[in-house]
Amino acid sequence: MNEHIIQTIELTKKYGNIKAVDNVSLGIRRGEIFGLLGPNGAGKTTIIKMLATLLKPTSGFAEVWHHNILKEQDAVRRSIGIVFQDPSVDTELTGRENLDFHARMYGLNKEVREKRIAEVLDLVELNDRAKAFVKFYSGGMQRRLEIARGLMHYPKVLFLDEPTLGLDAQTRHRIWEYIKRLNNAQKVTVVLTTHYMEEADYLCDRVAIIDHGKIIALDKPNNLKNAIGEDIISVQVSDGGKFSDILTKIEFIKRIRLHDDFLFLSVENGEKMIPRILRLAHEEGVLVHSVSLRKPTLEDVFLTFTGRTIREQEAGVKEQIRMKAKASMRMGGKR
């Protein structure tokens, strides 16, 4: 079952001199949930749009369900469903009418149409609101309707571009369940983009971490986490630099990262190491504000590969300056 149903070879999209997507070669397997994980502006959406024939690549090539995205656009369009990042439903129509429009555009006959509309409405539990105008739907309901619509024409691949962006935690979990369910029950291959680590971790069979248009890691979430190793103890101390120097001499600590006044220590059996670290801090006269233990997450994977956290990356330059200014004001106030 390792057949690739999406294959890209050196796929590249340039905007002027900027490479939004830079030589991406990847294969997506039939039946899997595949995640493109990366910060905003990393090129995830651009990849999806090229695969969905909405954008033409600058160079390189891709096949979806064995159809060339440049030469067989209609065949590609027929075999994919897509849920865009921004809403794309007609709010002046009812939920049912939106599905009906889609079904007709994809040439489903009346019988199939009726049957399929009932099925997909059932899947996303929108039966009772099908006759209401979409303008009266909540954000979560609209997203569910769009997922249902993406499935209408029995696509082989469903693209979900940031499927839970802007939704509250409860709704997000519900959407996750739908995605799992449609992947299981409808045997649809799912390709999703996200910048939520926990979403990629929870949903995806395999994840490609993407940054500045390049794929920097691709594997099962567990393998990615194991690859960067062990548990992480984060210690907030009064003098991070000094304590860091002391800890470098300790052998059971494999890696140290300093981030403001936080130290991130990679160790094995983290829970047993915490007392030893605290004792050491006490002996050296370093004040410890807080300690926490974490098993590795995809966030750490991202950090390891790029040297930044995904959230840092996200905040624009202006925002970062503003945040720093705020932080220093706050500290000044305390002193």
Partner 1 sequence: MKSLDFTAIYTIWLREMKRFFRARSRLIGSLAMPLFFLLFLGMGFDAAFKFSDMPPGVNYIAFLAPGIIGMALLFNSITSGLSVIWDRQFGFLKEIMVAPVSRVSIVLGKTLGGMTTALLQGFLILLIVVGLGCFKITGVIGFLSAVICMILIATSFVCLGLIFASIINDMQGFHLIMTLFTFPIFILSSALFPLERLPLWLKYLSYINPLTYGVDGLRYCLIGMAHFSLTLDLFVLVCFCIFMIGLSTYFFGNVEVD
Among 25, 59, 68, 88, binds partner 1 (CB under 8 A): 88
Identify whether the C-beta of residue 141 lies closer than 8 Å to the C-beta of residue 174. Answer: no
In degrees and rounded to multiples of 5, residue 29 shows phi and psi of -90, 155
Among 53, 183, 193, 297, binds partner 1 (CB under 8 A): 53
The residues, any chain, with a CB within 8 Å of residue 280's CB and separated by 6 or more, are 246, 247, 250
SS3 of 84, please? coil
The residues, any chain, with a CB within 8 Å of residue 62's CB and separated by 6 or more, are 6, 7, 8, 9, 11, 50, 51, 68, 69
By beta-carbon proximity to partner 1, the closer residue of 77 and 129 is 77
Q: Which span sits near partner 1 by CB under 8 A: 82-90, 256-264, 279-287, 311-319?
A: 82-90
Residues of this chain, 103-132, that bind partner 1 according to CB under 8 A: 104-107
78 lines the binding site for partner 1 (CB under 8 A): yes
Among 90, 114, 245, 268, binds partner 1 (CB under 8 A): 90
By beta-carbon proximity to partner 1, the closer residue of 146 and 300 is 146
Token code pair at residue 169? 């935690």
Q: Which span sits near partner 1 by CB under 8 A: 68-76, 114-122, 190-198, 213-221?
A: 68-76
97 lines the binding site for partner 1 (CB under 8 A): yes
Q: Give 3-state DSSP helix, strand, coil % of the chain, rounded to 5.
A: 45, 25, 30
Among 20, 28, 37, 52, binds partner 1 (CB under 8 A): 52
> In angstroms, what CA-CA distances link 212 with 64, 102, 202, 216, 312?
24, 34, 24, 9, 14
By beta-carbon proximity to partner 1, the closer residue of 54 and 325 is 54
In degrees and rounded to multiples of 5, residue 134 shows phi and psi of -65, -25
In degrees and rounded to multiples of 5, residue 40 shows phi and psi of -60, 140
77 lines the binding site for partner 1 (CB under 8 A): yes
40 lines the binding site for partner 1 (CB under 8 A): no
Minimum CB separation of residue 14 from partner 1 in Å reads 15
70 lines the binding site for partner 1 (CB under 8 A): no
Nearest to 175 by CA among 210, 130, 144: 144
In degrees and rounded to multiples of 5, residue 189 shows phi and psi of -75, 135
SS3 of 238, please? coil
285 lines the binding site for partner 1 (CB under 8 A): no
Among 82, 99, 141, 175, binds partner 1 (CB under 8 A): 82
**Per rule CB under 8 A, count of chain residues that contact partner 1:** 28
Q: Which span sits near partner 1 by CB under 8 A: 78-86, 111-119, 214-222, 300-308?
A: 78-86
Where does residue 75 rank: exposed (0-12), middle (13-18), buried (19+ CB within 10 A)? middle
Minimum CB separation of residue 115 from partner 1 in Å reads 18
Which residues contribute to the site for partner 1 (CB under 8 A)?
49, 52-55, 73-75, 77-78, 82, 84, 86-93, 97, 101-102, 104-107, 149
